[in-house]
Amino acid sequence: MKNLMTDWQTVIFRNYGMVPDEALAKVLGTDVQTVRRNAEKLGLKHRNCNADWVKKGFVTIFRNNWDLLPEEEIRTLLGVNGREYASLLEEYDFLSVKLGKKPETAKPVYKPLTAEEETRTARAKASAEKFPAPEARPFDFYAGSPSAWYEPPAESDIADRFVSSYSARYSGALLDGELSDYSPEYLQRLAATGVNGIWLQETLRNLAEFPFDPQYSPDWQIRIANLRKLTERCARFGLGVYLYLNEPRALPASFFEKYPELRGQKPDSVNYCLCTSAPQVQKYLYDAVRSIAERVPLLKGVMTITMSENATHCYSNRWNGVAADYTDCPRCSKRAPEEVAAEVNNIFCRALRDAGGRTKLIANLWGWAEFMGWSEEHILRGVELLDKDVEVLCVSEFSKHFERGGVKSQVIDYSISVVGPSDITVKLLEYAKKLGHRTWAKIQANNSWECSAVPYIPAFDLMLEHISNLKKLGVTGLMMGWSLGGYPGGALPLCCMACGRGEPDTERWYREVYGPQSGAARSAVRAISEAFREFPFSIESLYLGGQTLGCGNMWSLQPSGRWSTMVCYTFDDYASYTPPYGPDVYISQLRLLAEKWKKGLALLEEESGNALFEELKRCAEAAYIHFRSAGLLAEFSVLKEDVTENREKLIACAEEEMSLTKRLYGLLCKDAKIGFEMTNHYYYTPELLIEKVLNLTYILDELKK
């Protein structure tokens, strides 16, 4: 995307202080002194490298350089070899999918600036130097942040409530003997919200030796020992640990040359499923899960997903879009999909029971759904086949029907703006309860992919409404979010109080949390909750829309020719993220949301209060900026198809986006939580937002010629 800098200057601007100067010099074919001198020419003051970026923010480095540098140069910045680089892309929460196909990029090499480039550089420097230095240090999430206020209810209808960590690595945390991702400080803060559990994911081969070929389970002893240590640490704070398993994972064809009798469905060009109808595989699953439970006696629960994007059993996905009851596995093709999926859960349940029965098995029915080709009859039959000790969890808002802007649609999941439960969830949970199963629901508290760049969306009323609806169903456990939503504050204490018997005393909660400003906070949250009901929700807008990066999305006056990617880049690809609304309704809904949201913001801006009140203001404003920026990006992308006709409107869009970007910069500089999500790290940095200003400056120059 065009700005006032050359490509090699952009490399410096996006990476200075995040990676060693030596790595930048190597990438640009120059020396450290030249890098530092040119950083200063761009208005970047000298700084030491913050090693946390490579350790805790490598996704940001990937994202900032994906369309700027060749792969070899990105590896140099990250300090990884080819195998480690490939592993991050393929194993770190679908990172390769998020980034999309790697664009062809030439290696930017330092060369002296021309006179015209010097003029542009001076202009870029003048712009950059207008921005104040950040007060907040990246990843320092709790500096000066007071703990949440929570009063346990006398009795709880929903007794178990777990979340994911706000800031732990999605994978690899169990290789750290210090368990620094789960610090006592964080766990104490989390427990203070009323949450009593935390979940993390790991693969079975990483926690128990793979008996067929131990090379597939390196370091499993380290991980299982640290998992035990984690459960013991969490127990000191009244927190149980839940392990998410999505098993058994597929293996390369080379493995099955020795074990052809274990080979099942072929999900892609290089792998095969381990067939769970094979007795040897069933024994492996049983032994591995039992060994985990025996080695980690404080493990609170194991949560499974048996239909998913990952290839596990031979019916675990719709292969190449074929019907759900298709597999080319000779064993499983004689069985029903729901029989195979239920059997995996039952094997795990039996293993946990035989290990002493202290660890519960929770079957998350995500994917037992129409989009996987399952009919309602398939799902009900699957529930019937589950061991009675299996506890049943449903995504509460799954398949919830709603209408916005005159357009009818339905939810898959990750919704706060559309309040559950859905009709199918009610039916399944009631049926499971009738059969004797304990029931759970998964919701989104604090935030969702609707706006993941803030620690919480201040639409608390919608979350309370959702929990109230679930209590009427007799749900006794709550998964309060997927990989996001675990910030130890925001809505969590209020939601946990709402899990008590009867209605929560919300007025008291607002008084205890926000003090003299409780009235303003309550009124603002009410307005914001109503505004959020206007969000143009769809799986397309959720994953591909501009609200994810907000002002971190670079703009272009010319067609980019790029496709939007999952919770990452949006570009000008509005055809991908506006269905089913169409661009006009999508843009109008985001405009309506922003207009209503501003009423809540105005109530907050009129007041100053304690640290929690100021945090609420920042989250409300940052979320507003992300939603408004998403609407402006879509509008700009449509308008630029006829620049001559729409020049003045395009200028207005760019100028408003410029203002929003500067506001977001100010919020990021004050609060290290703004722009961060645990699987995506920082969506933007202060320097990237300054670059966006330079990007918009370039666009406005072109439009005003």
Average pLDDT, 10 consecutive residues per value, the chain (705 residues): 87 96 97 96 90 94 96 96 92 91 93 95 94 94 86 94 94 94 95 97 97 95 98 98 98 96 95 98 98 98 96 93 84 96 98 97 96 94 98 97 96 96 98 98 97 98 98 96 95 97 95 97 98 97 97 96 93 96 98 98 94 96 98 98 97 98 97 96 97 96 92
Residues 415, 397 contacting (CB under 8 angstroms): yes
The verdict on residue 54 lying in a domain is yes
The verdict on residue 305 lying in a domain is no
pLDDT at 675: 98
The H or E element spanning position 361 is strand 360-364
The verdict on residue 684 lying in a domain is no
- Report the b/e string of 261-282 with b at 16+ CB within 10 A: ebbbbbbeeebbbbbbbbeebb
pLDDT at 1: 58
pLDDT at 3: 82
Separation between Cα atoms, residue 591 and residue 66, nearest integer Å: 31
Nearest to 697 by CA among 133, 39, 128, 132: 128
* HSE-up (13 A, CA, CB side) for residue 326: 10
pTM of the model: 0.96
The verdict on residue 123 lying in a domain is yes
> Strands 240-245 and 251-252, how do they pair?
unpaired
The verdict on residue 28 lying in a domain is yes
The verdict on residue 432 lying in a domain is no
pLDDT at 519: 97
Q: Determine the structural domain holding residue 70 and report its residue range.
A: 1-130
The number of domains in the chain is: 1
The verdict on residue 19 lying in a domain is yes
Separation between Cα atoms, residue 337 and residue 379, nearest integer Å: 10
pLDDT at 383: 98
Separation between Cα atoms, residue 624 and residue 622, nearest integer Å: 5
Nearest to 222 by CA among 191, 266, 187, 177: 177
pLDDT at 89: 93
Coil vs helix vs strand at 424: helix
The verdict on residue 546 lying in a domain is no
